[in-house]
Amino acid sequence: MKTRAEDNLMRDVSAGNPIKPWLFSGPFCEDVADKLPELTYFDNRATNIGRSFLNEALQEARNIMICAPREGDKTSFRGQRSRWGLVRQPGKLLAWGRPTVANQLRAAFLLTTVASKSTAVKRWRLVTRTTVHVIVALNGRIVFEGDQDSADPRKNLFPSGTYEHLFEAELRPGDNTLCVGMLRIGRRGCVCFQLEATDDDLSVKVPLAVGMSAERRMRMEETLVGVRLERDIFHPEHDIGVRLEAAPGTEGTFQVRLLSEAGEILRDATTHASGPVSLCKGADVEDGSYRISCAWTDENGREVAACEYNIRKVSPVEAPAGYDHIEERKRKALEFYSVRSWVGHTPNIWREVARYALGRYGDIDESIIRETCEFIAVRKDCSDFVIQGLLRMMCWERKEQRLAPPIRAMMKDVVLGFKYWVDEPGADGMWMDSENHRLLFHTAELLAG
C-alpha cells in the first residue's frame, strides 16, 4: 500500500481523474490598481478593460511555460522571484490567492511529468472555478490557451461557476513535461484549476532536483508529512512549535523556523530527532499572525523541500459576564480597537472611531481619516466598509466638532461624491453583487441622506 509521502511525489492516475502531483511556482501578485482602476473583463464581460495589459504579461508567462525546471529551481515573473515547490493540497481542485480591494495581476504556474507508452493524441479536460486565462504546454510547446470566452458555453455561470476547456494534445513515448499557467486580473484574486486526461491512464511524477535520488527524496517527504501542529492559535503559556512523527535523520539539515508575516526569521531550530520542537513560548512574541516553516536544506544552504503553516498568537482577556457589566464590556472593546494594529487592504478607520467614542480626541490620527477619504474617492472595492466609519464620526461631529475643518470638509465631499449603487454614474472597482455589500451600500446611502 502506497504511503502519503509516495502519493505526494508520484502516482498512477486513471482516466478522468485530476492529474497529480505538481510542482508550483507563485502565486505572483502585482498591484495594477493605478493602471486599471475599474472592473476588468474577468469580472465584467461587457468590457475589454485589462486585455492589453494581460497580453503584455502573457509574453513573459509563455517563456516560463516552455522551460523544464525541477524541484527547488528558482523562477521569476515580472520582477518577482519564486521557487518550484511541491503541492500538497488534498482536494481535486487546486487553488491559490485571496480577494483584494483593488485589481491585481495574479499568476501561478504548475509543472509535472506524465509518462506514455507510445506516441498518441490524448483528450484533455481543464476545469477552473473562476474566470482565468489558462495556458497548457507539453514538452516546451504550447498546446492550448484560452479564457472564459473559449470555455464550454454550457458551463459558464458567469461571474462564478465552472469553466470547462476541452482540447487534444499529443504525448510522446516516455516522460513528458506538462506545464500549466494561470493568469487573472481582478479583485477576486484566487486562481484555481484541475486537469484530466479523459481517455487514458497516466503515470505522474514530479521532476526532482538534479542529483536527488527518489529514495532520498522519499525519506525527506516522510518527515514533512509527519509534521504535526497541536494547535494553530497559541496563548502566552503555550510552546510555539511542531511535533515530528518521523525522525529527520541525516538526509540534510532539517530546520524549523518561526516567521513574521513579512517573512523575517524570528526563531529557528535544527533537529534530527522525532518528537516536539519548541521555538519559543507564546509570551515571547506579540499578538498577531505568524508562520511556521519546516524545510530541508542541502550542504549549500539551498532549500530542497518545505512545508509551511499559518498560526496566530493571542492573549485571551476574560470579559466581565452579565448585563450589569455591559458598559464595561463596551469600554473594553473600544479600548482594544483603539490600539489595535491592522494589516489589511483597507485603512484602519475603526481605530480612530474607537478613539473618538472613548473621548480620546487628541489621539485621533487625522492622516488615517484622510487616507480613508482618498481610498473611498477612487472607489476601491470595500469602500462600502470603511465609509461606515466616516459616517459615524460625521454624525458625532454634528453635535460637537472635534476634527480639523479641512478634514470635515474632505469627509463631506467624499460622502456626497460616493457611488451608492450600480445605477449611479461613474467608473468604479467596487463589488456590489453579494449580500454583505448590498446591505452596506444601502446602509451608507441611508445614513448619508
Say if CB 223 and CB 255 are below 8 A apart. no
* Phi-psi label, residue 279: left if phi above 0, alpha if psi -120 to 50, beta otherwise: alpha
For residue 90, say if its preceding peptide bond is cis, omega within 30 degrees of 0: no
Could you tell me how many residues make up the chain?
Answer: 449
- What is the residue-level pLDDT of the chain in tens, covering all 449 positions? 566 888 999 999 999 999 999 999 999 999 898 888 888 888 887 888 999 999 999 999 999 998 889 998 999 999 999 999 999 988 888 888 777 777 889 999 999 999 988 888 999 999 988 889 999 999 999 999 988 777 765 554 434 567 889 999 999 999 999 999 999 998 876 788 899 999 989 999 999 998 889 998 999 999 999 999 999 999 999 999 999 998 887 777 899 999 998 889 999 999 888 999 999 999 999 998 999 999 988 777 788 889 999 999 999 988 788 899 999 999 999 998 998 877 667 889 999 999 999 999 999 999 999 999 999 998 888 899 999 999 999 999 999 999 999 999 999 999 999 999 988 888 777 888 788 999 999 999 999 99
Q: For residue 19, give the 3-state DSSP assignment.
A: coil
Span 184-206, pLDDT tens digits: 998 876 788 899 999 989 999 99
Span 290-312, pLDDT tens digits: 999 999 887 777 888 899 999 99
DSSP code of residue 200: S
The CA distances from residue 354 to 335, 358, 364, 392, 399, in Å, are 7, 6, 9, 11, 17
Nine-digit cell string for 389 = 466609519
pLDDT at 345: 75
The CA distances from residue 194 to 20, 61, 275, in Å, are 9, 19, 36
pTM for the full predicted model: 0.79
Burial class (CB in 10 A: 0-12, 13-18, 19+), 254: buried
Adjacent-strand bridge partners of 108? 182
pLDDT at 433: 79
pLDDT at 351: 95
pLDDT at 161: 63
